[in-house]
Chain A
């Protein structure tokens, strides 16, 4: 997993990237952490325990616990069962949970969310940053 702890006393929003592919999830987390100067709690999860493509609810639960610091957690899925696994996770949460799902492009959304979180933004602002990635042209 890729992670970086924040040096700020104020807890920042945690971010979990989930994909079928561990390489995609961890690679996106690496890029997002670097653009955020490492000042963000982010992990990428994906694949099965034996290294095949797939998603795991248990792995997602562990990742959310790992990045949670009291300011909430954003889950960003890429496709297919990553989305279903993230929705299953949220369905298991009690009302008033501080975990939210973002509907956003994976890499761009991860970078936008991570930079925004590292600046001390709220969970709602981090979700908005991720979802706003859909509207930003790169050319």
Chain B
């Protein structure tokens, strides 16, 4: 946990995957978590969290359609970043790759 400050925000949101978390949706997740002033982690089934900024780690979750992904964010823009990532997970299209 980072040091608290006036702007430190911690947000958690659960999202049910609309499609398997393959390369393309994983890429969308990482893009949404990059370049925003927040740190975002994902976890599935209580397993270790992964950094959403690592597309390979996000793919490595091996999460499939119907599973619930817990999205956790910390930082000044955590609410925005977590909402964006959760939205991608809920609306991912079921396409190969």
Mark A residues whose CB is within 8 Å of B. 31, 34-37, 39, 108, 111-112, 115-116, 118-121, 129, 132-133, 136-138
A39 shortest CB reach to chain B, Å: 7
Mark B residues whose CB is within 8 Å of A. 23-24, 26-28, 30-35, 53-57, 59-60, 97
Please, which residues of chain B bring their CB within 8 A of the CB of A129? 53-54
Give the residue name and chain of the A residue nearest to B22 (CB). A35
Please, which residues of chain B bring their CB within 8 A of the CB of A120? 34-35
In the bound complex, do residue B28 and residue A37 qualify as a contact, i.e. CB atoms below 8 Å apart? yes
**In terms of DSSP, what is the predominant structure of the interface of chain B?**
helix
B37 shortest CB reach to chain A, Å: 12
Name the contact of B31 in the complex, choosing from A31, A39, A111, A138 (C-beta under 8 A). A39
In the bound complex, do residue A133 and residue B24 qualify as a contact, i.e. CB atoms below 8 Å apart? no
Give the residue name and chain of the A residue nearest to B27 (CB). A35
A31 shortest CB reach to chain B, Å: 8
A92 shortest CB reach to chain B, Å: 31
